[in-house]
Amino acid sequence: GLKLLLFQLEHLLELHLPKLAIHLARLDLQPFLYATSWFVTLLVNFLPESDATIAMDQLVTALSCAHTLPPTPCEVDTSSTTNMNDRIHFQTSATAQGWATIFKIILLALTYMASDIIQLDFDGTLRLLQNF
């Protein structure tokens, strides 16, 4: 899900835009801080409304569990997600090429913005990336 997309983005940045990746790492600016909204917007637009609601509920649960100190186990009700998971798997398989295209667009945009981003501090970088 979302964690995989954020993981992929981080590693694509390291591979294709190493200077930007180093800058973001020095600022300790993790992808979940700026790119979550990018992917949530895309996921919500791809899913039917009922499935999007379930996915958002699970996302909120996962994010709230991930940011507790110490981390707490997440309890997710999977009873309503069985059919949705089947549909998402089909949609994900069918749109794998679409995600590759989305990553290419993100990398292209970040390539054009990289020289500006590298000049910014944490707050400026975060603000620019969140408004991307």
Per-residue pLDDT reduced to its tens digit, 79-113: 444 454 544 444 444 455 667 777 888 888 899 99
Instruction: Report the alpha-carbon distance of residue 58 to residue 42 in Å, rounded.
Output: 16
**pTM for this entry:** 0.62
With tokens 């975060």, the residue in question is 126
74 pLDDT higher than 70: no
Is-contact 36 2, C-beta < 8 A? yes
